[in-house]
């Protein structure tokens, strides 16, 4: 993966979502913070029972957690960029459905066991375009902390996560780089097949 390209995409995403610090409004930040805190608490709970649950159990436990904390439709749309408008409504819905399954499967795979980890929220800030960034870290025993920057935007009466930057690497930028390339080069069906392949691999690892 071209790290220079990823950095450029991250800068682009920060520009789009206005992630330049502005004066924080406590009410907005608190609401976004609650979404992140609840999601992190549910992740830890699943991790603590990860081995007993197995992949399918973790997936089922996390499905509502991810759906209720992430704006999966917006994320899917951002991931394919301008190609979104070229898709039919049926294709757009198919992409959202498959991408949602991928997101849950990714969490079920990556947060599968527990050895004393804990999340801490350090701060939050409002952005110039009305979003909120929640800065958090995952403390891992006998290892370095993992820094998470959660980017959230309002959706209806609540806040939803639209991107997560872990140790400076944007999950959205990585997916955008890979998936737009597949969509432009190989077409929609190839992209869906690739995503389904990843879901299948997560379930086996």
Q: pLDDT by residue (tens digit) across 101-156?
A: 999 999 999 999 999 999 999 999 999 888 999 999 999 999 999 999 999 999 88
CB 150 within 8 A of CB 36: yes
The order of strands in the sheet holding 146-155 is: 118-126, 132-139, 146-155, 158-166, 169-170
How far apart are the C-alpha atoms of 38 and 67, rounded to whole Å?
13
pLDDT digits (tens, 9 = 90+) for 7-24: 444 444 444 444 444 434
Q: Give pLDDT tens digits for 83-96.
A: 999 999 999 999 99
Closest alpha carbon to 150 in 121, 190, 183: 121
Q: What is the pLDDT of residue 170?
A: 93
The answer for residues whose C-beta is within 8 angstroms of residue 149's C-beta and 6 or more apart is 133, 134, 135, 136, 164, 165
Residue with tokens 């050895």, as numbered in its chain: 115
Could you tell me the residue ranges of all domains in the chain?
A: 3-204
CATH 3.40.50.620 fits 3-204, yes or no: no
**pLDDT (mean) for 55-60:** 97
- pLDDT at position 129 is 85
């Amino acid at each position: 993966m071209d790290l220079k390209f990823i950095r450029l995409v991250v800068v682009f995403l920060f520009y789009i979502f206005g992630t330049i610090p502005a004066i924080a409004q406590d009410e907005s930040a608190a609401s976004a913070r609650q979404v992140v805190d609840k999601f992190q608490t549910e992740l830890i709970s699943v991790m603590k029972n990860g081995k007993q649950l197995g992949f399918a159990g973790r997936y089922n436990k996390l499905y509502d957690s991810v759906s209720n904390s992430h704006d999966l439709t917006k994320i899917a749309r951002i991931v394919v960029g301008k190609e979104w408008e070229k898709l039919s409504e049926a294709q757009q819905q198919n992409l959202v459905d498959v991408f949602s399954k991928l997101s849950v499967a990714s969490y079920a795979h990556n947060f599968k066991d527990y050895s004393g980890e804990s999340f801490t929220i350090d701060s939050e800030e409002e952005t110039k375009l009305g979003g909120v960034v929640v800065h958090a870290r995952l403390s891992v025993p006998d290892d370095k902390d993992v820094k998470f920057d959660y980017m959230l935007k309002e959706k209806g009466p609540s806040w939803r996560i639209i991107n997560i930057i872990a140790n400076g690497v944007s999950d959205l930028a990585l997916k955008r780089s890979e998936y737009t390339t597949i969509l432009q080069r190989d077409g929609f069906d190839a992209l869906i097949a690739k995503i389904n392949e990843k879901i299948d691999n997560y379930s086996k690892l």
